[in-house]
Amino acid sequence: MTTSLFAASAADLTIERIRSLAARPEQVESLTLEFKREYSTTLLKTIAAMANTYGGMILVGIVDQAEADKKGGERVVGVDAQNTIDKIASGCHAKFDPPWEPTFVPVPLDDESGLSVVVVRVDANTAPRPILMDLKAPIRLSGQNSTADRDRLLKLAREEPSAGVLPIGQNVMSPNLDRDTEGNATADFILRTGINLPMGEAGAWRPLSERSVAALAQTLSHSAFPSALHTLGHSSYSSATGFRQHGHNRSRTARLVYQALSRSAVPHPVEAVVTVALPEVYGSATAAAVATVTIDVISRVQRYAKTVGEEYRYPVRNLLALFEGILKTTVGPGFVAEIARITDIDPVLAAQPRELHLVADRHVKDLIQSDGLEEIPDAGASAGGVFRANPALDLRDAADRQEQVDDWLRQLGLDAGLTGMENMVERYRARAQSRT
């Protein structure tokens, strides 16, 4: 299983992965990542700043590129792990109010020096915010530390001790179905997922690049997403536009739309809208520098079927393909690289989608094919739901992604008052496996 460096287990934190991260020519320090040569009071301030903002990771034992060039180009030099950890822990307890320390993972170098890179993980969810240092509350802005102003300090002080901070990537607003002038829904359902991302220094002030938006559109058009949308559309259309800019696009907002094309009274049986919105921060210390990427799928296939005199319900396997296509795309290296470039962060820090919202215009049991499913007596009904991902799963891993999709389908069935979804999904997986 592969995981990000921040979430990786100690066994998965290898010196090879750290070298790879440090060796990237485009690698820069960001809102949630910093490199340090050794222990210093500046390192303590960075820990406090990350704890008061979004958390992050500090790699101790890595020199900057200029110093590395003088020594043969090697950035990873290492430190005495135990001595460094002791100094950081002592400094955190001596300098922080209230005292608090992050977690440490020493990663030995692959030589006989006995030195290590110390990975310092700062989890903002466990920190007693605000953490003060020298009677000030450091915060993180892009790739540097700053000091919270009065408003930001009051906001930190008002946080409930147990509330923590919602991790980047997990806050997705529930969608609404569009309605006509008579108040009737214009789609069968809308499915939404998305991620929140910290902003790097350049991303916080520059407008969206036309080339970056075009590259993202091309990446989406050549991903697993269009195939999943075509499967969802069944036989309601034979052509589509591919992802392109359409609708509300501004200097800090990009809206990329995929539209299925039909000559019926339902011209777009399936649509997908990917919206990238950068915050209007411009260096303000009180603004939460968070970019949002929202992915909506709007389906009208049932409505299309009625225009041609047919009754239609969505096969569960088509929903399975849609869920998998969305997840595979949003964690794929191409999509992650383009989003990271737009927000000016390292791809390793890009979040994975952790929520999926479904809002339908009718009960789910009337939306999907019921072959193999049975209604639970007096169970009530559901017109959608919020599906959360298991944080222990890495959605870049095919097996983990499959497990998550299967869990979501089981939840969909149970929330709709239906049994049999688990067996149906298992049979589908078995048939798919036998064909490979």
pTM for this entry: 0.68
Q: Can you tell me the mean pLDDT for 361-375? A: 90
Q: Can you tell me the mean pLDDT for 405-420? A: 92
Segment 243-262, tens digit of pLDDT: 999 998 888 999 999 999 99
DSSP letter string, 222-277: TSSHHHHHHHHTTTS-SEE--SEE-SS-BTTEEEEEEEEE-SSSSS-SEEEEEEEE
Q: How many CA atoms lie within 13 A of 215 on its CB side?
A: 14
Architecture of domain 10-157: 2-Layer Sandwich (3.30)
Please report, rounded to a whole number, the percentage of residues in the chain having pLDDT higher than 70. 90
Q: Which of 45-54, 84-93, 281-290, 423-432 has the lowest mean pLDDT?
A: 281-290
Do strands 374-375 and 418-419 pair parallel, antiparallel, or not at all (unpaired)?
antiparallel
Q: How far apart are CA 350 and CA 363, in angstroms?
A: 35
Q: How far apart are CA 31 and CA 352, in angstroms?
A: 17
Q: How far apart are CA 62 and CA 107, in angstroms?
A: 12
Give the pLDDT band of residue 25 (cuts 50, 70, 90): low
Domain range annotation of the chain? 10-157, 189-435
Reply yes or no on whether the pLDDT at 301 is more than 60.
Answer: yes
Q: What pLDDT is attached to residue 85?
A: 93
Q: What pLDDT is attached to residue 173?
A: 79
Q: Which long-range contacts (CB under 8 A, 24 or more apart) does 175-183 make?
A: 175/296, 175/357, 175/359, 176/359, 177/359, 177/361, 178/298
Q: What pLDDT is attached to residue 62?
A: 94
Q: Which of 47-51, 319-323, 346-350 has the lowest mean pLDDT?
A: 346-350
Name the residue among 273, 125, 93 with its Cα closest to residue 187.
273
Q: What pLDDT is attached to residue 160?
A: 52
Q: Which of 42-46, 95-99, 115-119, 141-145 has the lowest mean pLDDT?
A: 141-145
157 compared with 109, residue with greater pLDDT: 109
13 compared with 327, residue with greater pLDDT: 327
Q: Is 263 exposed, middle or buried (0-12, 13-18, 19+ CB in 10 A)?
A: exposed
Reply yes or no on whether the pLDDT at 215 is more than 70.
Answer: yes
Amino acid at 248: H
Q: What pLDDT is attached to residue 8?
A: 65
Q: How far apart are CA 224 and CA 248, in angstroms?
A: 25
Q: How far apart are CA 398 and CA 208, in angstroms?
A: 32
197, 30 contact by CB (below 8 A): no
